[in-house]
Structure 1
Amino acid sequence: MSFKIAIIGAGSVGFTKKLFTDILCVPEFRDVEFALTDLSERNLQMIKSILDRVVEFNRLPTKVTATTDRRAALEGARYIISCVRVGGLEAYADDIRIPLKYGIDQCVGDTICAGGILYGQRNIPVILDFCKDILEVAEPGAKFLNYANPMAMNTWAAIEYGRVDTVGLCHGVQHGADQIAEVLGAKSRTDLDYVCSGINHQTWFIDLRLNGRKIGKDELVAAFEAHPVYSQQEKLRIDVLKRFGVYSTESNGHLSEYLPWYRKRPDEITRWIDMSDWIHGETGGYLRYSTETRNWFETEFPQFLESAARPIDPAKRSNEHASHILEALETNRVYRGHFNVKNNGIITNLPQDAIVESPGFVDRFGINMASGITLPEACAATCISSINVQRMSVHAAISGDIDLLKLAVLHDPLVGAVSTPEEVWQMVDEMVVAQARWLPQYADAVPAAKERLSKSRIKTREWAGAARRDVRSIEELRAEKTALKQAV
């Protein structure tokens, strides 16, 4: 088979390499063309060097091109994969730093909450530019696979306003299922059958079966509490399981910032998180991790390049959905996964215009979603709170209505648990002014926001958060990796 796959934001080096090698695990895809595009010429050339090394070592006919001209990369593409982070780490740092001044402590800040909403404002205009190019120059009927966060907002905008065939992809469901399989003592992840449904980063394992035997709440709670690692790392998640009766896909840190109960006071934050790794609730944890990963790659690039000269092993193909979806569409080998699409009857007790994440099957006829799923009422209520924020955020990003943006932030569960309306109004002004270069739709609102900030008397504080860690140096990272190798 010969067709073209464009990857936007291909400078996300580790993730791009994973998608690339996954796709090349499919024997029929040896002749495909990968067109990489990114704003950074330097990053493009680094990732192209790595992928070229993979192709050369494995003696494949696969073609890899790289260009900062997005339309050229998209021209004739059948599949477009987005991994973009608009504003990069510079804007992301403000997503964490500015809300902290108003007492809002985020672990990740890329889905909802103050950081995730502003992230969406930066991304959505760019997503719509992608969609315009896809409609104009890509292969007719091209499919857009969005991996970028905020997943629901980006996918919502691409479907409703971009009018492109879009599916949002995440790996939270797979990671949660792996945990459940481990605590239940499954010999293989295939022993566990499950139905997981909800919205991205708030999906719920509403049906669990181990080798055909249904697993109930009490058994699952006991299994997690008995696990020597997860019992400490997932304290908040286990508490939600006890109260809601079902397990959430998202990590301790992610889940904590979508709810109004666990991160609203510093002493509560430290009670529910675990500092063994960033993902379990550390303040700004993903920002620190992303910064360290970037610094490590830039310093250790020769090592990454050398490690690319290895055989592609289909047995090590990851559980990221993209390669499996392409395989099913092109070869008709059926694939079952969990995908982000417009609701339209998939989940009966969530709004029909929402982007939901739920089970589906893929074959040559497309992505076919299972419909008629009803969530437990508490799960639906929690999802609806986020959906209302997502809807307002998308509409604000499209219209450039700063008042609607403030209302979206005000209705965010964690923001509402921490901040007053006056504080929210000032915080949004401050974030829009700080990120103005990435927010063209708010250009007319920036001067008035600056004027309001110059007259404001609302007090803020310089606060690192309840559980902040410093970015580690390359030397510290190297020492840690050496110690881990020696321990093994």
Structure 2
Amino acid sequence: MSFKIAIIGAGSVGFTKKLFTDLLCVPEFRDIEVALTDISQHNLDMIRAILEKIVEANGFPVKVTADTDRRRALEGAKYIISCVRVGGLEAYSDDIRIPLKYGIDQCVGDTICAGGILYGQRNIPVILDFCKDIREVAAPGAKFLNYANPMAMNTWAAIEYGKVDTVGLCHGVQHGAEQIAEILGAKSVSELDYICSGINHQTWFIDLRLNGRKIGKDELVAAFEAHPVFSQQEKLRIDVLKRFGVYSTESNGHLSEYLPWYRKRPEEIARWIDMSDWIHGETGGYLRHSTETRNWFETEFPQFLASAAKPIDPAKRSNEHASHILEALETGRVYRGHFNVKNNGVITNLPADAIIESPGFVDRFGINMVSGVTLPEACAATCMASINVQRMSVHAAVSGDIDLLKLAVLHDPLVGAVATPEEVWQMVDEMVVAQARWLPQYAHAVPAAKERLAKSSVKTRDWAGAARRNVRSIEELRAEKSALKKAV
């Protein structure tokens, strides 16, 4: 088979390498073209060198191109994959730093909450530019696979306003299933059957079976509480399981910032998080992790390049959806996964316009969702709170309506649990002014926001958060990796 795949934001080097390697695990895909595009020539040069090393080492006729001209990269592409981070770590640091001044402590801040909403405001105009290019220069009927966060908002905008065939992809479901398989003593995750449904990062294991035997709430709670590691790392998640009756697919740190109950008071946060790794609830944990990962890659690039000169092992293909979806579409080999699409009745008790994450099957006829799913009422209520925020956020991002943006932030569950309306109004002004270069749709609103900030009497504080860690140096990271190797 010979067709073209374009990867936008290919400078996300580690993730692009994984996607590329997965694609080459499909025997029929070894004669494709992969076009890389990014705004950073430096990052493009690095990832192209790595991918070409993989191709050379395996003797495949795959063609790899790299171009900062996005339209040129998208010309004739049948599939387009996006993993962009608009504003990079500079804008992302404001997503964490500024809300902390108003008492809003986020672990990740990339989905909803103050950080996720502003992330969406930066991403959506760019996503719509991608869609325009796809409509104009990509292959007819091209499919857009969005990996970029905020997943639901980006996918919502691409479908409703971009008018492109779009599916959103994430790996939270797979990671949750791996945990459950481990605590239940399964030999592999293949022994587990499950239905997850909800919205991205708030999806729920509503049916769970181990070798055909249905697993109930009490057995799952007992298994998690008996596990020596997960019982400490997933305290909040286990508490939600006890109260809701179903397990959330999302990590302890992620879930903590989507709900109004666990991060509302600084003295309470320590009860529900674990500091053994960023993903369990550390303040700004993903920002620190991303910064360290970037610094490590820049420093250790020669090692990354050398490690690419290895034969591909199809047995080690990852569980990221992209390669499996393309394989099903192109070969007809059926793939089952959990996909982010417009609801349209798939989940009976969520709105038709919402972007939901639920089971579907892929074959030559496309992505075919399993319809008629009904969420437990508490899960639906939690999802609805986020959906309402997402809807307002998307419409604000497209219209440049700063008042609607403020209302979206005001209705966010964690923001509403912590901040007053006056604080929210000032915080949004401050974030829009700080990130103005990435928010062209709000250019008309920035001068008035600056004037309001100059006159404001709302007090803020200099606060690093309830559980903040400093970014580690390359030397510290080397020492830690060395200690781990010795321990193994």
* TM-score calculated relative to the size of structure 2: 1.00
Identity of aligned residues (%): 89
Instruction: Give 2:247's aligned residue.
Output: 247
Instruction: Give 1:480's aligned residue.
Output: 480
CA distance in 1, matches of 2:373, 2:326: 26
1:170-319 equivalences in 2 (<5 Å): 170-319=170-319
Instruction: Give 1:459's aligned residue.
Output: 459
- 3-state SS of paired residue (1:111): coil
Does residue 58 (structure 1) correspond to residue 58 (structure 2)? The answer is: yes
Aligned AA (2:216): G
Instruction: Give 2:364's aligned residue.
Output: 364
CA distance in 2, matches of 1:397, 1:380: 25
Cα deviation 1:378-437 (Å, max 9, x = unaligned): 000000000000000000000000000000000000000000000000000000000000
Aligned AA (1:146): N
Instruction: Give 2:102's aligned residue.
Output: 102
Displacement after TM superposition at 1:214 (Å): 0.3
- 3-state SS of paired residue (2:258): coil
CA distance in 2, matches of 1:188, 1:104: 39
CA distance in 1, matches of 2:22, 2:478: 28
Instruction: Give 1:168's aligned residue.
Output: 168
1:77-156 equivalences in 2 (<5 Å): 77-156=77-156
Instruction: Give 2:426's aligned residue.
Output: 426
Cα deviation 1:153-177 (Å, max 9, x = unaligned): 0000000000000000000000000
Aligned AA (2:441): Q
Cα deviation 1:142-161 (Å, max 9, x = unaligned): 00000000000000000000
Instruction: Give 2:406's aligned residue.
Output: 406
Instruction: Give 2:42's aligned residue.
Output: 42
Displacement after TM superposition at 1:476 (Å): 0.2
- 3-state SS of paired residue (1:257): helix
Displacement after TM superposition at 1:134 (Å): 0.1
Displacement after TM superposition at 1:107 (Å): 0.1
- 3-state SS of paired residue (2:337): strand
Does residue 68 (structure 1) correspond to residue 63 (structure 2)? The answer is: no
Aligned AA (1:258): Y
CA distance in 1, matches of 2:326, 2:102: 44
- 3-state SS of paired residue (1:300): helix
Displacement after TM superposition at 1:51 (Å): 0.3
Cα deviation 1:452-485 (Å, max 9, x = unaligned): 0000011100100000000000000001001111
Cα deviation 1:220-243 (Å, max 9, x = unaligned): 000000000000000000000000
CA distance in 1, matches of 2:457, 2:299: 44
CA distance in 2, matches of 1:483, 1:306: 23
Point out where structure 1 has 5 or more consecutive residues left out of the alignment.
none
Instruction: Give 2:6's aligned residue.
Output: 6
Cα deviation 1:250-286 (Å, max 9, x = unaligned): 0000000000000001111111000000000000000
- 3-state SS of paired residue (1:340): strand
* TM-score calculated relative to the size of structure 1: 1.00
Q: CA RMSD in A?
A: 0.3
Instruction: Give 2:28's aligned residue.
Output: 28
Aligned AA (1:411): H
Cα deviation 1:438-459 (Å, max 9, x = unaligned): 0000000000000000000111
- 3-state SS of paired residue (1:90): helix
Displacement after TM superposition at 1:188 (Å): 1.4
CA distance in 1, matches of 2:473, 2:264: 31
CA distance in 1, matches of 2:46, 2:37: 12
CA distance in 2, matches of 1:108, 1:269: 14
CA distance in 1, matches of 2:267, 2:453: 30
- 3-state SS of paired residue (1:182): helix
Point out where structure 2 has 5 or more consecutive residues left out of the alignment.
none
CA distance in 2, matches of 1:5, 1:268: 47
Deviates more, 1:183-192 or 1:464-473: 183-192
CA distance in 1, matches of 2:45, 2:154: 27
